[in-house]
A = this chain, B = another copy of it.
Amino acid sequence: MLGLAGGTAGLAGLAAVGGLAVGRSTAPDPGLTAERRVYPFTGAHQAGIVTPQQERVHLAAFDVTTTDRAALVALLQRWTTLAARLTQGLLAGPDGFASGPYDAPPDDTGEAADLPASGLTITVGFGRSLFLGADRATDRFGLASRLPDGLIELPHFPGDDLDPARSDGDLLVQACADDPQVAVHAVRALSRAAFGTARVRWTQLGYGRTSATTTAQSTPRNLFGFKDGTANIKAEEPDALADHVWVQPGDGSVAAAWLTGGTYLVGRRIRMTIETWDRTSLREQETVIGRTKREGAPLSGGGEHTAPDLTATGTDGAPLIDPDSHVHLAHPSSNHGARMLRRGYTFTDGNDALGRLDAGLYFLAYVRDPRVDYVPVQDALARHDRMNEYIRHTASALFAIPPGVPDVAPDGSLRGAYLGSTLLA
């Protein structure tokens, strides 16, 4: 499935690789600093999914404000060119940020003009409301019959406390980079290109693997102080990616075959009630998670990367890993083998009126079918997870992520395909 042999391009990468239908690179030259990494834009799949997780994310969901299908197509075409340019370290347009007609706005806003590509990836998705309208009955663009089977309305899970204004949307942009200003610049450029066609519904910033953890190849810690991501699907597991991430030929209805090679993105804003957590004992914390805090080792023994033994019992006959611990409930063996490619980021959005930090995990997971790989797992967690005492899901999103764009010109001009062209062309 993956072009695992693909390397990274230099800063002039688009010129070098733009004409080639290269696969998604997942293995950048480890000698490159984070700022110098450039991931190819073109490929069978969109970048930003199996790409090694960058340090920052800026998510932006948009609502389309037109009913003109041609305008939607034109927007996706503009976004494709912009994404191709920005990810390769180019500015938003050929005149840059400080050239061109003096009495016109510059092509580029300029705040990232001195910054390298910083591993930027831009990933675009389609929400259920793009197909059905926000009222679930307005087929604005003639797309209702092509709604992907997995692009369901997520059920209300026990404990959900969702803010509609921070949930869902017609379109999603996920911009990931190792520099926050580069990610923010990308969202701003795409927002600017959407003027008159779509407007921002919600945005979310997050940070994750920091420089230090990236260098050390250690698993980063979340705001509970625990390592997070130990048992994730890895880019080097092509069978797992085929089974659990990429939509396969024959998945779903014929009318939804346009999503083949794509995937689904589940987003959940999970606020952590940190002040409460911080007053609990180390025993409670490890019991809730099912792992040790220091090493991240399962409480059944071994090291961080030892598989949890959910049946192991202690001398008192009680299970070493609590059946209602997060590790037990989220484990594939508890969920008919369901797995996800997780790509979550920590967020810190100031504080609430009571002075408590509004912080937690923005959970992002890519799955082949949310009905199989996400809903049952979250349903079990929402009902039984001991962690629920310390978290609250405050926003939710589900997007179909179309396949990648196989080819663009070196300057980002289209050569036929664009993001979503399998659906809209």
Binds B, one of A16-24, A110-118, A313-321, A376-384: A110-118
Binds B, one of A147-155, A249-257, A278-286: A278-286
Nearest chain-B residue to A100 (Cβ)?
Answer: B282
Q: Does A27 contact B (CB under 8 A)?
A: no
Q: Please, how many angstroms separate the alpha-carbon atoms of A103 and B62 in the complex?
A: 47
Nearest chain-B residue to A285 (Cβ)?
Answer: B106
Residues 188-215 of chain A, each 1 if its beta carbon lies under 8 Å from chain B, else 0: 1001100100011111110100111101
Q: Does A356 contact B (CB under 8 A)?
A: yes
Residues 80-102 of chain A, each 1 if its beta carbon lies under 8 Å from chain B, else 0: 00000000000000000111111
Number of copies: 2
Name A205's contact: one of B211, B212, B350 (CB within 8 Å): B350
Name A210's contact: one of B180, B205, B292, B355 (CB within 8 Å): B180
Name A105's contact: one of B105, B165, B220, B281 (CB within 8 Å): B281
Q: Please, how many angstroms separate the alpha-carbon atoms of A105 and B212 in the complex?
A: 26
Contacts of A218 in B (CB 8 A): 114
Q: Does A425 contact B (CB under 8 A)?
A: no
Asked if A180 contacts B192 (CB within 8 A), the reply is: no
Asked if A349 contacts B348 (CB within 8 A), the reply is: no
Taking the closest CB of chain B, its distance from the CB of A43, in whole angstroms, is 26
Asked if B283 contacts A113 (CB within 8 A), the reply is: no
Contacts of A58 in B (CB 8 A): 348
Q: Does A357 contact B (CB under 8 A)?
A: yes
Name A349's contact: one of B111, B180, B294, B349 (CB within 8 Å): B349
Asked if B110 contacts A225 (CB within 8 A), the reply is: yes
Please list 27 pairs of residues, one from A and one from B, whose beta carbons are closer than 8 Å in the complex, sorted by A's number.
A33-B211, A35-B211, A60-B351, A97-B225, A97-B294, A98-B293, A98-B294, A103-B282, A105-B279, A108-B225, A110-B221, A110-B226, A111-B222, A112-B221, A114-B216, A114-B218, A115-B210, A115-B212, A118-B210, A179-B211, A181-B346, A184-B359, A187-B357, A188-B278, A201-B355, A202-B351, A349-B349
Beyond the given A181-B346, A191-B357, could you list 5 further A-B residue pairs with CB under 8 A, ordered by the A residue number? Answer: A97-B293, A98-B292, A110-B225, A116-B212, A188-B274
